[in-house]
């Protein structure tokens, strides 16, 4: 994760967890990776030593302690959602995800808590729902893909 400030890496684990990109069972491994990279915190060591089958009721409080140890706030669900929509947009820009895959990934999302650009991207993606996509011609579909890529680039700072 070059280019990411050190403490931001700890926050990123919490954002990924809140966004559902990191499961409860994956928290100990994410903590172990931070420990291996030189991060130092009693709660982080404790979390890194836990098993992947431990419950959220045991691991989530440890994650909160880790964040406290680094002077970070526990992110809300909207924070996780905002991070994820931007992360997924960056994946589209990088070619690691197609606009259709992005549409499928966020198909059940609402735009509550999102800013105007994030909401605009979700609005574009809604055109590709299962009920609407079949009505697009090939030319309309290519145009939709181009619009999504442009919105994703603007959102991820690449546009």
Question: In 20-137, where does DSSP find H-type helix?
Answer: 27-36, 42-48, 56-69, 77-94, 99-105, 116-126, 130-133
Write the CB contacts of 56 (distance below 8 Å, at least 6 apart in sequence): 24
CA distances in angstroms from 5 to 8, 10, 156, listed in the order given: 5, 9, 18
Mapping DSSP to helix (H, G, I), strand (E, B) and coil, where does residue 22 land? coil
* pTM for the model: 0.76
H or E stretch at 76: none
Q: What is the mean pLDDT of residues 29-39?
A: 96
Q: Cβ of 52: how many Cβ atoms within 10 Å?
A: 12
Residue-wise pLDDT for 108-155, tens only, equals 888 889 999 999 999 998 877 666 667 878 899 899 999 999 999 999
Residue-wise pLDDT for 79-99, tens only, equals 999 999 999 999 999 999 999
């Amino acid at each position: 994760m070059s280019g990411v400030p050190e403490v931001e890496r700890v926050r990123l684990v919490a954002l990924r967890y809140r966004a559902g990109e990191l499961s409860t069972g994956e928290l100990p491994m994410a903590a172990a990776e931070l420990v291996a990279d030189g991060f130092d915190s009693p709660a982080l060591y404790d979390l890194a030593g836990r098993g992947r089958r431990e419950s959220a009721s045991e691991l989530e409080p440890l994650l909160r302690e880790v964040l406290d140890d680094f002077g970070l706030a526990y992110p809300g669900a909207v924070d996780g959602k905002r991070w994820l929509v931007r992360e997924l947009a960056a994946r589209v820009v990088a070619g690691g995800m197609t606009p259709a895959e992005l549409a499928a990934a966020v198909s059940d999302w609402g735009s509550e808590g999102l800013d105007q650009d994030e909401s605009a991207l979700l609005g574009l993606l809604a055109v590709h729902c299962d009920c609407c996509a079949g009505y697009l011609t090939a030319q309309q579909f290519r145009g939709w893909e181009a619009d999504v890529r442009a919105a994703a680039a603007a959102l991820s700072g690449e546009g």
